[in-house]
Amino acid sequence: MPTKRSHSTARLLFASNLRRARLQCRLSQEGLAELSELHRTYVGSVERGERNVSIDNMERLAKAVGWELRDLLSPMDGE
């Protein structure tokens, strides 16, 4: 099981931005999983910040939602 402890800032930022980007695309987690060729439960756990996601998978997810990876690691306005 992924641990709930010691989530990094970067993880949580990526998680919340990925979710935001996915919803902007009106994609379900399943739709995003299909586009990025990752598993639905994996995408869900990334969005909860539970996964120490790798740079290759971060890039696949960024491409799937049409964002630059660096923007998925930038704080959003009002946060």
Closest approach of its own copies to the CB of residue 18, in Å: 11
Residues 57/35, Cβ–Cβ less than 8 Å: no
What string marks each residue from 2 to 21 as x (binds its own copies by CB under 8 A) or -?
Answer: ------xxxx--x-------
Nearer to its own copies, 30 or 71 (CB): 71
d(Cα 43, Cα 40) in Å, to the nearest integer?
5
Q: Cα separation of 50 and 30, whole Å?
A: 18
Residues that bind its own copies (CB under 8 A): 8-11, 14, 52-56, 58-59, 62, 68-71, 73-74
